[in-house]
Structure formats: structure tokens, C-alpha cells
């Protein structure tokens, strides 16, 4: 099973493709889609959308896991990020992919085992779990891989629960 994890943003979209075979997680490709700050917002959104479509076509994930937005204060950045998140979800749905959403706390809980873990702890666990030589940069990339790992763990848990419920 191939999972695409996404950390949404307008300036930087982190993405990470991982393969899950049994309990083994293997990184396939990861990186970011970046847009220029002084470009009109509609052009930036188009760039994010087209970049995601190209990635989906190239790496052919079975499902997409995306981080839910959580903004306590800054509405100014929340709206453009929400729009970028919308075009990212649109790209996935147009390709017929199921989309799963996880809050930052859910991702931290799944990756580190503690929902209030520090960003650095999450990054180090991503590096360890995926056997990477270094923490992926920028941070958005490590966050996207963490979302993919979270979904991989959730899929395992859900299938085990369904087995128990069927008995």
C-alpha cells in the first residue's frame, strides 16, 4: 500500500510517499512544492494544484493523508493555507483517491506516542521509523512524512479492530 502524506501550505507544501508492507514502512519519495511569495495567490494555488497532480500521477499512491488545519491565532495565514489545502484535496479526489485527515495532535500521538510532543521529537521519530540518514528539510517535509506514518499506523489499528469486531 502506498500512502501520500501532505503537510498543506501556500508557500511550502510538504509531501511524502511511503510504502507499507506488513509492519514495514519504506520511504519512496519526499520533498516540497514551493511557491514564490510575491506571486498572485491564484497563481500560487494553481502551482500547488498542478504540482500535486504531477506527483500523484508519477508515484501513484493508494490513499492520501493530510494534516487538518489548526490555527489558534493567525487568521491571515489560515485562509491561504486553507485554500491550498482545498486544492490539494481536490487533486487527490479528482484522481479517485480516498483522503484521510489527521490533527497535529493525532499525528504526534501516532508517531511519538505523546500528543503534545515537540516538533523536534516528531522529526527524529520520522527519521528513525523510516531509517533516513537525516531529518528531511524543510520541516514541512518531515511533517508530511509524519502524517503518512500516522495513517500507516491508523490503517493497521483499524484493520485489527475490524477483525475483532467481525468475530
The verdict on whether 57 is a catalytic residue reads: no
Question: What confidence tens digit (pLDDT) does each residue in 125-148 have?
Answer: 999 999 999 999 999 999 999 999
Residue 42: how many CB atoms within 10 A of its CB?
9
Q: From residue 33, give the alpha-carbon distance in Å to each of 76, 159, 166.
A: 21, 32, 42
The verdict on whether 143 is a catalytic residue reads: no
Per annotation, catalytic residue among 41, 42, 50, 67? 67
The verdict on whether 19 is a catalytic residue reads: no
Question: What confidence tens digit (pLDDT) does each residue in 38-72 have?
Answer: 999 999 999 999 999 999 999 999 999 999 987 65
To the question of pTM greater than 0.75 for the whole model, the response is yes
Domains and CATH numbers, the chain: 2-166 (3.30.420.10)
Per annotation, catalytic residue among 41, 42, 140, 163? 140
Amino acid at each position: 500500500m502506498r500512502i501520500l502524506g501532505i503537510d498543506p501550505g501556500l508557500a511550502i507544501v510538504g509531501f511524502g510517499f511511503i510504502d507499507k508492507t506488513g509492519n514495514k514502512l519504506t520511504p519512496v519519495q519526499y520533498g516540497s512544492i514551493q511557491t514564490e511569495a510575491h506571486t498572485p495567490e491564484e497563481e500560487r494555488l494553481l502551482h500547488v494544484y498542478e504540482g500535486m497532480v504531477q506527483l500523484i500521477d508519477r508515484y501513484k499512491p493508494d490513499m492520501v493523508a493530510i494534516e487538518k488545519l489548526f490555527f489558534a491565532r493567525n487568521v491571515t495565514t489560515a485562509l491561504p493555507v486553507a485554500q491550498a489545502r482545498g486544492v490539494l484535496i481536490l487533486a487527490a479526489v479528482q484522481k479517485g483517491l480516498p483522503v484521510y485527515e489527521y490533527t497535529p495532535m493525532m499525528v504526534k500521538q501516532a508517531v511519538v506516542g505523546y500528543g503534545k510532543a515537540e516538533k523536534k521529537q516528531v522529526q527524529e521519530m520520522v527519521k528513525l521509523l523510516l531509517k533516513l540518514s537525516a531529518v528531511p528539510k524543510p520541516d514541512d517535509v518531515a511533517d508530511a512524512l509524519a502524517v503518512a506514518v500516522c495513517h500507516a499506523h491508523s490503517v493497521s489499528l483499524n484493520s485489527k479492530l475490524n477483525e475483532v469486531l467481525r468475530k
